[in-house]
Chains A and B, each alone.
Chain A
Amino acid sequence: MKLRTFSGGVHPPDNKQWSAHLPIEDCPLPDQLIVPMSQHIGAPAAPCVAVGQQVAKGEVIGEAKGFVSVPIHAPTSGEVVAVEARLHPMGTALPAVVIKADGEDRWRDDLASAEPGDLTPEEIIDKVHQAGVVGLGGAAFPAHVKMSPPPEKPINTLIFNGVECEPYLTADHRMMLEETERILQGVALLQYVFGAERVVIGIEANKPDAIAHLEQHCTGTPVEVVALQVKYPQGAEKQLIAAVTGREVPSGGLPMDIGVAVHNVSTAAAVTDAVVQGRPLIERVCTVTGPAIREPKNLKIRIGTPLSHLVAVCGGLVEDPGKIILGGPMMGVAQLGFDAPAIRGTSGLLLLRQQDVERRPEGPCIRCARCVEGCPMKLLPTTIAAYARRDLFEATEEYRAMDCIECGCCSYSCPALIPLVQAIRYGKAAIMAKKRNA
């Protein structure tokens, strides 16, 4: 059978064999947790605890500022030892609350569990907001915002993203195998909130065990499990929608414009916790992998766990890493060291050796158009990048730079090693800066 997919894309080696077979392990608690106030798209939370204060696990330590923002919760019980700017995975120091764990790991005692059948959609959305649930695929967009589309844009198709197309990462894969019940309960809750007619779980075909497992659990339910061709970026929102529904999100538009909403499978599990148990989002599954780590693992980690702790839990380093990446190798963020903490969007910690990241110098464009063929947004990366590098931002915008999803297929496919996506990002930043100033 020909598997469904989108146009364009590339085929990087998936390298999931390091950790795909390893069950999720609970990561031991670190002594100190650094919880940044900015872990999501939107306004950062405002710290609402003072140094010296005792907090219980799940207590709010940062309040949401505005609608597109979520509260931040204490990942364990302990004492607040600092409220200050700390190194954030983005590479700069940003406000954070530092908690010294007391080892008791005591939940706050007012967790409100609920019977999902008794709740109205609004109550569910409110619970999701209060629990600080964000998209766990990597971008960390607040889930309650996605769950509140305007009434004139009804959602008829709800897609759950179990694609995990980034090489190396296996966190969602393990979640689908081991936390099936939580995921499917979340799927049902979200279907109820959206009132969607069609519910699909999309999974890349390199996870046959997950596909079979979920299909088995979904028989007799309205949930469809769809196997998708193995291709990067199959798990990008717009590409997943194209593969599953054949619909295209208009330029500058959102999935809700064509009646679709996409959530990650792990987000569905977090929604279950938030609604049924009243538990906030304080932990997630993170794949620690790569050739430079001794024992790759799928770890269930607390938000705010320092990366150095994750490395220690995984048996330390084989050699000095050439690159430390939070997330996958295609779209992840390179790190300055192991001082930053893992945050809500941290789906993986990838450690590459020096020889894996060696670079040759950039050559001239030979007009081979591999970037054009690879672009899943049907853009002309070489043209956009050339304009951006010459600071011709009007032309950059005219060639639809703002539609770029920064997946990196162009840079990956360029035989001349031109930093295409980097140049496009530079152009996009300049265009956005100009719009802000206008």
Chain B
Amino acid sequence: MIAAILSLGCIGLVAAFALGLAAKKFAVEVVPRELAALEVLPGANCGACGYPGCAGFAKAVIEGKAELNQCPPGGAEVVLKLSRILGVEATAAEPEIAVVICQGDNRKAQLKYQYLGLDDCTAAQRVAGGPKACPGGCLGLGSCQRACPFDAIEMTDDGLAVISREKCTGCRKCIAVCPRNVIRMTPLASSVHVLCNSHDKGALVRKYCQIGCIGCHICKKTVPDAYQVETFLATVVYGHDEEAGEAIAKCPTQCIRDFQDGYPEGSRLAPAGSEKTHAA
């Protein structure tokens, strides 16, 4: 009994001594400002800044290799805090969020075939260009949802990705995985968007989707400043939100949506009441 206590105690002492020495000898030097910077970052390690995780970005910022406003999830608040730590002036980048520019779920848009493969949009896209007849529409298999580090993407029951305007931080992870390029970065301040990604002619779009843009120019005729039409697809010229809203009621296929009025049909997300800044 006593022998056991003594021998274990001795081993403990020797190990403690060795650990103490090792801690001194192999100590990693940390720049205190790096720790402080890491403290104010969101800690999602999303990689949107282009550095390996928040620690990598903190290091780069302190070493002056990265701009202060390179952290989209952090938004203005992080820029402000980082500028205090570094003692420099910096302005936040215009906050942006991702929007799925498609409303053609499996009920509204036609399918070319029944897809039975892996639950992954990239895998589906490889099979005859994906099951959606529309070449640009959301495939609805949720690759973006799985890629989102902020749980900001909802998949509706009818297979449409909808991005929450409150939760999206603008990290662009979803854009990287989407094989159909149907997710776009848009200014957070703009809530009116043309939700269609098909550049096909109107007659063709009408064949495969009830809610696609047919390139009829009515929106542009109503508010010339706020819309542009290129190869049969209208887009909003951002920064003209007040006027852009006027065309919504005129659109024959109802593919223009003001997100302040609500999310696309089938989504359970509550409409954004007021424009929040993302760091809030």
Residues of A near any B CB (own CB < 8 A) = 90-92, 334, 336, 359, 389, 419, 422-423, 425-426, 429-430
Contact = CB atoms under 8 A, between A and B. Distances in A.
B127 A91 contact: yes
Contact of A422 (B113, B122, B123, B128): B123
B118 A336 contact: no
B128 A423 contact: no
A334 B131 CA distance: 12
Interface string B105-133: 00000001100111010110011110000
Interface residues of B, number: 12
B117 A419 contact: yes
Contacts of B122: 426, 429-430
Given A336-B113, A422-B123, A426-B123, A91 B118 contact: no
Given A422-B123, A426-B123, A430-B122, A336 B117 contact: no
Contacts of B126: 425-426, 429
16 contacts: A90-B128, A92-B128, A92-B129, A334-B113, A334-B127, A336-B112, A336-B113, A359-B116, A389-B118, A389-B120, A419-B117, A422-B123, A426-B118, A426-B122, A426-B126, A429-B122
Ranked nearest first, the 3 interchain pairs of A and B with the lowest CB-CB distance are A91-B128, A426-B123, A92-B129
B120 A426 contact: yes
A359 B114 CA distance: 12
Given A91-B129, A429-B126, A422 B112 contact: no
Interface of B: 112-113, 116-118, 120, 122-123, 126-129
A334 B113 CA distance: 10
A236 B113 CA distance: 29
Contacts of A389: 118, 120
Contacts of B113: 334, 336
B9 to A, nearest CB: 45
A259 to B, nearest CB: 35
A104 B116 CA distance: 45
A177 B127 CA distance: 36
A426 B141 CA distance: 15
Given A336-B112, A336-B113, A422 B129 contact: no
B207 to A, nearest CB: 15
A277 B122 CA distance: 46
B118 A419 contact: yes
A423 B119 CA distance: 10
Nearest to A359: B116
A321 to B, nearest CB: 12
Given A336-B112, A336-B113, A423 B118 contact: yes
A340 to B, nearest CB: 10
A429 B122 CA distance: 9
A207 B117 CA distance: 34
A155 B128 CA distance: 38
Contacts of A334: 113, 127-128
Nearest to B123: A426
A379 B118 CA distance: 21
Q: Which of B116, B118, B122, B127 counts the most chain A CB atoms within 10 A?
A: B118
A415 B112 CA distance: 29
A359 B116 CA distance: 9
Nearest to A433: B122
Contacts of B118: 389, 419, 422-423, 426
Nearest to B124: A426
A359 B115 CA distance: 12
Contacts of A336: 112-113, 128
B191 to A, nearest CB: 33
Given A422-B117, A422-B118, 6 more contacts: A91-B112, A91-B127, A334-B127, A425-B123, A426-B123, A430-B122
Nearest to B129: A92
Nearest to A389: B118
Contacts of B128: 90-92, 334, 336
A55 to B, nearest CB: 30
A390 to B, nearest CB: 10
A92 B112 CA distance: 11
B129 to A, nearest CB: 4
Contacts of B117: 419, 422
A382 to B, nearest CB: 15
A35 B38 CA distance: 61
A430 B120 CA distance: 12
Contacts of A422: 117-118, 123
